[in-house]
Structure 1
């Protein structure tokens, strides 16, 4: 007895699905090859490399340092912003300013302190003003034009 007789007629697979799959594979491969070639493009030509010329120039400079010794001239008769000791940094007396210099939003601030650092008086000047200081005090100013000793 043959196998056909025991199992029935043998089933034959159609040929067309295999043919379609083969053609599709060839088409996909061809498309991939074209896309890869186009994506790479043509190589750009580069200019031949030329050596870079570097020039090094050395400069030597002489440094001259001049030391100036300032001889003490005694207490000042005018000053700007800062903390000054009366009788040492600034002469005692009455000082006048034309007002604020614009660097301090609050105006021209001044403060007189005693030797212990306690505030004797302070104020803000927004126009010309005066302050009188005595030896042993300190004056602290901020945002003011020049203070000049009144005659």
Structure 2
């Protein structure tokens, strides 16, 4: 029913307005076909950002470019949290909760980067952060064992039994 009304309206429009010689009036009941000679517009591909200025989770290579990023630390008196997530299993590669400025190497193989409470991150040309040698945790463990031995010795000297 609607198609008939549209065709009648189109016919009335041509009859009332009249068509100029050689000009065709399109029938509204016929779907338009695209002109193959007409230029097509394709949206340019989005370029990953090199600045992270808000809390969130950013896909590496899509939302942000991989590389070395730095931040001045937390916003206000809070703490700055960041986390690198691996691909494809989504495991945490590295993270920190700190009140100090940070430098992070975001690899192209990382799945995402999460930030919360940090000042803006900026891609830099600087060197990546130094890798931990693994020595610091060993030393900390040895220091803890030494402190526990001292406490147990003092407890035994005062007549108390050390914990099992």
TM-score, normalising length from structure 2? 0.45
In our comparison, the structure showing a higher alpha carbon Rg is 1
Structure number with greater CO (CA < 8 Å, separation at least 6) is: 1
TM-score, normalising length from structure 1? 0.49
